[in-house]
């Protein structure tokens, strides 16, 4: 008797099939815990590989858990391959803590593209924020020289975009130039997810639809919420993947939907802490992901993209 088919392969989702390699926490929403559920709500089949499994995120006084190494990651890929389960439309990666693991991720990209040459690799190059590195310095050159050229979409923050382009970003023009530099290195879509300029918080997006053509570029002004949240970068990149695949020629609309979802969720999170009698400004906040699923599935667009001429 023939084995039963894998329905996610035999009857694939209209949206896509995502392999997401990110961290995992038992409690709270960061990494895969922040990315998988939203993508599923948007109609994607998502297979997570947990690069770490921790009790909670590292902002707590203590955490316990395990770290996956590159060899163990490759074992999982081999297991999938041996059962003909390696067909994916998207690869999503977030925080990666070592050069060896990142090098294996590059091998995974090649392997997945040998199965599906059209695979889109969405990379959040998590390296740091506000001038501070979170990762070993040697990862920066690996991202710049090896990861950027094979990525389809990059979602750095301001500091990470500066690291990847060896430039300073102190104006909107600088942000747009950084996007152009990254396009020239590989990815057709670049979204700098947060840029602080003159006290204003912006997202700058850029889509180069064909090599040699000038990219379509836009900005979205984002309100500053006086609080610090965990997992928002992971969620933002997942939403950008989800919506950009639904609107492949309209990155600005995808960004409007992603930003509107995120802002509704953050406001709900702040309100929840206030109801619980906690000052949202005093500590990092765990996002209210499950309670915001309607805002993820059907966001009301309240933040509009403004195209650059």
Active site residues: 234
From the list 219, 215, 156, the residue with the least C-alpha distance to 183 is 215
Residue 195 has φ and ψ, to the nearest 5°, of -130, 125
What are the tokens at 193? 């997810």
**Residue 296, token pair as written in the block:** 């993820």
How far apart are the C-alpha atoms of 309 and 142, rounded to whole Å?
34
Which residue(s) pair with 67 in the sheet?
52
């Amino acid at each position: 008797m023939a084995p039963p088919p894998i329905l996610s392969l035999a009857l694939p989702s209209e949206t896509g099939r995502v392999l997401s390699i990110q961290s995992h926490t038992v409690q709270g929403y960061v990494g895969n815990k922040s990315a998988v559920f939203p993508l599923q709500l948007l109609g994607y089949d998502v297979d997570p590989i947990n690069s770490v499994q921790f009790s909670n995120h590292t902002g707590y006084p203590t955490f316990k858990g395990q770290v996956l190494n590159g060899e163990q990651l490759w074992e999982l890929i081999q297991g999938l391959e041996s059962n003909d389960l390696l067909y994916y439309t998207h690869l999503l990666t977030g925080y990666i803590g070592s050069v060896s693991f990142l090098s294996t991720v590059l091998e995974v990209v090649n392997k997945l593209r040998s199965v599906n040459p059209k695979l889109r690799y969405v990379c959040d190059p998590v390296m740091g924020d506000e001038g501070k590195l979170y990762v070993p310095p040697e990862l920066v050159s690996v991202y710049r020289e090896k990861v950027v050229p094979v990525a389809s979409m990059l979602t750095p923050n301001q500091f990470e975009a500066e690291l990847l382009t060896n430039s300073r970003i102190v104006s909107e023009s600088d942000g747009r130039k950084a996007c152009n530099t990254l396009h020239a290195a590989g990815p057709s879509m670049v979204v700098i997810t947060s840029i602080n300029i003159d006290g204003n918080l912006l997202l700058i997006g850029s889509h180069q639809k064909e090599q040699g053509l000038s990219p379509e570029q836009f900005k979205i002004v984002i309100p500053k919420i006086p609080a610090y949240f965990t997992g928002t970068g992971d969620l933002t990149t997942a939403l950008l993947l989800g919506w950009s695949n639904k609107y492949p020629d309209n990155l600005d609309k995808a960004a409007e939907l992603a930003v509107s979802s995120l802002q509704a969720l953050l406001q709900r999170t702040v309100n929840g802490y206030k109801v619980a009698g906690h000052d949202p400004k005093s500590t990092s906040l765990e996002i209210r992901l499950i309670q915001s699923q309607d805002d993820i599935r059907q966001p009301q667009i309240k933040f509009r993209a403004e195209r650059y001429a």
